[in-house]
Chain A
């Protein structure tokens, strides 16, 4: 199937518009396709949009009125950025609710896209699906097994959502263009995710006994990649990360937030107790602080070019610094 041309994109749906990345993407899409009507939806409360041709709606995408939206607006392009984080809402949502939102919700979105003949859907997954395991090779490509849920059952919904989207993508590749993106840690002034909270919290542990490597993509680069995917990237699964990597200790040093020097091999056994005092550290994150989970980005670079990231991992961290001080 051919890529979408600018004139093909008349109506765009962004699911999960309340997030910082979605907001950044919305501005970029508005600039790139000024004539297009953009509708942003989220289950969280929203401020009205200030941009022309852009409207926001508070709506749960597992409910019936979500289908009405598809009936009433003939979307050409759908962005699914509405995955419920497996950490920040851990105390508010049960595992069953997260499974419902992430898996049943995603399945519903995909079915609606097919039913209403959407031209392209872009789904944001995460590199967490690979898992941080001691026998990971230096760079994991898109064909690597998704082993996160084997090691950490709390990531089951994240892995299942990715697998659901991937198998759906191949099944319907002749009817709808589907892109599944697995970005590395996304950081930026507007992003509040597990890792940004971990890095910015001075009371979180910095391992004394391990020093894994990380990739950090700036929210602006990620928004740029999401926007470009509409026009130049064909159906497929793609890892997204900048070339440069940085060790955890260097990252915290760059941020100026050293954290609490801790031997992680002891902490692993005290994780349950520690988590009560520090909810920013979910169990699975401890392994991401021990072992590297670096992703290979050759596939996406063949479409977006080698210089699609404006910020290196270090630059991204430096950008995070002023936001933290505010």
Chain B
């Protein structure tokens, strides 16, 4: 079986630093079981499957990797697309293209753990319920968090709202204040086009107990419609933002709101810059692009 696996792996296009990534996973997650359910073996298998998609299908370009230092961050990004492919690609970027590698612990909505199969699989990949206590413990364990402060508002947008950053909730900032964890702003360009948006039946989402259920034209293709369109993706990492020392977890909203609005505006600006520097359509379908942001 091992020989078969090795033979199979030799056909795969793995990241150049895959040994470093696998060593990191073994070192951090193999000895003690992660209480939130992260499984290093699942992530290793995921790297093998996702990297070819990351590199060749979505042709992800990562800008600003050198800004990430070796300590915990709260990674905050704009939320796009009907299915959270942006989170998956950002996760893959931090695991494969940042040194040292890290597993971003995505903070997910309360309904995610209730989903059969999916809830378990995202937990095995490192996702955790977006809860203040979880956040505190993860930062204390030296983990970096991934947060989309737009929440479902970010993924349930119509076509006219593409790349318009929606209002940020304040929860992420309060969580960052627990240990004054620096915030790392990120902009993701390219995920809005993966699933062509048609309609968002809010009544159906409500009756199914889901926070959002945007319908896409590709759903007409059945299970095949789950495959996202090969929209090329740019991930831009901004400069880390230190939190003011005078602010505390329980500071009043009026003191926190201006900082949250500032981060929202900053990410919106990063998104706009990213859109201007996007690969032109011809280049998006395969030709190399040499421009820099």
List the interface of chain A (C-beta within 8 A of B).
134-139, 208-213, 244-247, 250, 263-265, 291-292, 294
Determine whether the beta carbon of A245 is less than 8 Å from that of B116. no
Residues of B within 8 A of A213 (CB): 33, 35-37
A230 and B113 CA atoms in complex are apart in Å by 40
Instruction: Say yes or no for B120: interface residue by CB 8 A criterion.
Output: yes
| Minimum CB–CB distance for A21 against chain B, Å | 25
Chain A residues closer than 8 Å to B110, beta-carbon distance: 134-135
* A135 and B33 contact, Cβ closer than 8 Å, known pairs A210-B119, A263-B116: no
A-B contact pairs, 12 of them (CB 8 A): A135-B110, A136-B129, A137-B131, A138-B36, A138-B128, A211-B123, A245-B35, A250-B33, A263-B116, A265-B116, A291-B113, A292-B35
Q: Are B32 and A244 in contact (CB under 8 A)?
A: yes
Q: How far is the CA of A208 from the CA of B117 in the complex (A)?
A: 7
* B35 engages A139 (CB within 8 Å): yes
In the assembled complex, B207 has its CB within 8 A of some CB on chain A: no
Q: Between A and B, how many residue pairs show CB distances below 8 Å?
A: 57
Q: Which residues of A contact B114 (CB under 8 A)?
A: 134
Contact at A246–B120, with CB atoms within 8 Å? no
The chain B residue sitting closest to A246, CB to CB, is B33
With A209-B117, A210-B119, A265-B116 known as contacts, the answer to whether A135 contacts B131 (CB < 8 A) is yes
B19 CB to nearest A CB, Å:
26
Interface mask (B109-127 → A, CB under 8 Å = 1, otherwise 0): 0110110110110011000
State the CA gap A319–B119 with chains docked (Å). Answer: 32
Interface check B134, CB cutoff 8 A: yes
Which A residue's beta carbon lies closest to that of B137?
A138
Whether A210 lies near B120 (C-beta < 8 A) is: yes
Contact flag A209-B35 (CB < 8 Å), given A134-B110, A138-B134, A138-B137: no
CB distance from A294 to the nearest CB of B (A): 6
**Which of B5-23 touch A at CB < 8 Å?**
none
- Interface pair B129/A135, CB less than 8 Å apart: yes
The answer to whether B133 has its CB under 8 Å from any CB of chain A is: yes
